[in-house]
Structure 1
Amino acid sequence: MNIAYLGLGSNQGDRLQHLQQAIQQINRVAGISISRLSSIYETAPVGYVDQGSFFNMVCEIEVELPADVLLSEMLAIEQRLKRTRTIRFGPRTIDIDILLFDHEQIHTRDLIVPHPRMWERAFVIIPLTELIPDYKPPTPEKTIKELGKRLIQEQQIKKLNQVISAT
């Protein structure tokens, strides 16, 4: 059994509903069990900024699947939830990224874990802080909590009172 962390984000349509649907579909995948969910945060877009704000969260899962199969399953969920890829970092109904997969470092054509840009993004680090504050990645050699303290001062992020069920 592996422990993985997924970053979820939505900025089109009913953002909360898209996150809920993604969680429900993740929970239905054979070999995956959702352990914990972070709070939901509203964040400004990064990269392509001419778009609406995002709702973001992190999901901790227990997974029996290899990382490449997990990626395929998450891409299939994105497709079912009508994710389109027209503009890099552009608007989307749902985005599901594999942030961490146990303590593995994976580098293939299709998957890089830990997610290469997660350390600079408050919308990943702040929700991850709720789940694994003392986790220390190989680089940048600070705990998630320490990274979060810096990022929360640099980037716009607002915790919402919305709650999503893991079922």
Structure 2
Amino acid sequence: MKKGTYEDQIRIEELEVYAHHGVYPEENEKGQHFYVNATLYTNTRPAGLADDLSLSTNYGEVCQFITEFMQQHTFQLIETVAERTAYEVLQHFPLVQGLDLEIRKPEAPIPLPFGSVSVAIHREWHEAYIAVGSNMGDSREHIAQALGQLQKNKDIRVEKVSELLETLPYGVVEQDNFVNGMFEIRTLLAPEELLQELHRIEQMEGRERKLHWGPRTLDLDIIFYDDLVYASEDLVIPHIDMENRYFVLKPLSELAPNFRHPITHKTVTQMLSELPVDLTEGNEA
């Protein structure tokens, strides 16, 4: 979720739930009181202007949903209670784009004077752009299979799909032409989790990582993830060198021409227009 996109909030404070969560058997058997604080990030303006509850999220239903979920399940850790509850709320209430959730446990088995212990987390739907490419076998079918796998994943919502284009190979030029495209998605997966899912889909389509920039049945790359700047051993966001790749910028400009690179602050349209002539003219096969 890009910063500032959903600034309106619906707040639920001190929702009391009697449930059975804890590491010790007596906690699971006897149960205890938990208190829930939740902030739902959404857009309340349509409902506010129309005075229409159907355009908003019914906080009474959210309270009932959280209560029933916490009472119908038993977990050892309140970290798990918070994680699973936040996840289910985001899946069940489509207008809720983000969630702050605190689970407070005032009756925790601590043999010392204390007020309560709690776990507080923030979870949200994230916007991401996934570049797709293939130049082995039936490339368009590989891409169609990848799209189908993404659509089956309940943690991913495919919002837009670009037209496919055929381009000349990049890097190692002695190989077949590529078919390239772009997916715009929303996801509950963290960046590394999303990368793992993309690798799983690649492997299903027979991807083998033998040669850098070499031929492949399927290539799925995270180009942008919100406005995140991130680097780990396995993943860099925004994708390295994306601003110099016609086969990335062209389909991306179809879906998000005004999306700004979080480091250079240039729009996709600007980056595409600034490509050298030799990277645009003649790049499409």
Q: Which one has the largest radius of gyration? A: 2
SS state at 1:88 partner: coil
User: Is residue 2:220 matched to residue 1:127?
Assistant: no
Other structure's SS at 1:158 match: coil
Q: Partner residue of 1:30?
A: 154
Secondary structure of 1:97 counterpart: strand
Cα offset, 1:91, TM superposition = 0.5
The alpha-carbon deviation at position 86 of structure 1 amounts to: 1.2
Per-residue displacement from partner, 1:125-167 (whole Å, max 9, x unpaired)?
A: 01110111112213334211011123383323439xxxxxxxx
Q: Deviations over 1:41-60 (max 9, x none)?
A: 11111111110010000000
State the TM-score, normalizing by the size of structure 1.
0.90
Q: Conserved in 1, the CA contact under 8 Å of 2:134 and 2:143?
A: yes
- Using CA pairs below 8 Å that are at least 6 residues apart, which structure has the higher relative contact order? 1
**Shift of residue 69 of structure 1?**
0.5
Letter aligned with residue 43 of structure 1? T
Answering whether residue 228 of structure 2 is matched by residue 109 of structure 1, we say: no
Please state if 1:95 is matched with 2:219: yes
- Give the SS at the match of 2:260: coil
Which runs of 5 or more residues in structure 2 are unaligned?
1-124
2:273 counterpart of 1:158:
no
Count of aligned pairs between the two proteins: 159
8 A contact 2:126–2:187 mirrored in 1: yes
Give 3-state SS (helix, strand or coil) of 2:183's partner. Answer: strand
Partner SS state of residue 90, structure 1? coil
RMSD: 1.5
Question: Counterparts of 1:154 and 1:131 in 2: how far apart (Å)?
Answer: 24
Deviations 1:99-126 (A, max 9, x none): 1100111111111000011110000001
- Percent of pairs with identical residues: 36
**TM-score scaled by structure 2?**
0.54
Aligned residue identity for 1:35: E
